[in-house]
Amino acid sequence: MASIYMQGNAKLWYQGYTEKKEFLSWDDIVVNVLERFEDLDSERVMTEFNKLHHETTVNAYLERFAELKDQMLIFNKNQEVEFFMMKFISGLKEEV
């Protein structure tokens, strides 16, 4: 499904990538696409992740949290799920 939105080098990379795998989770795909095609600065990502707080809507916070979480996993694939759960909860507004 993801490949219909890809073109050029990304589409070729994805076709080769999926041929080698039996099962792919969405998280695996996101992490590998970012790892291959996005120019990430680990310090910037960690700083932004640590400063992230719920300011507008829960959906906006959730979307940005998910983006940064995927980027964080590029630098530390073994990060515990509990770490992300605690960060997500602590970043929510108190009234939520």
Q: What is the pLDDT of residues 39-63, one digit of tens each?
A: 778 888 899 999 999 999 999 999 9
SS3 of residue 66 by DSSP: helix
95's CB contacts (< 8 A; 6+ apart) are none
Residues 48 and 87 in one domain: yes
Q: Tokens for 32, please give them.
A: 């590998």
Enclosing domain of residue 27: 2-37
Residue 52 domain flag: yes
SS3 of residue 94 by DSSP: coil
Q: How confident is the model at residue 1 (pLDDT cuts 50, 70, 90)?
A: low
Domain count within the chain: 2
Residues 59 and 32 in one domain: no
Residues 58 and 30 in one domain: no
Residue 81 domain flag: yes
Residue 96 domain flag: no
CA dist., res. 45 & res. 29, Å (int)? 19
Residues 71 and 50 in one domain: yes
Of residues 87 and 22, more confidently modeled: 87
Judge contact between 29 and 74, C-beta under 8 A.
Answer: no
Residues 46 and 86 in one domain: yes
CA dist., res. 38 & res. 67, Å (int)? 12
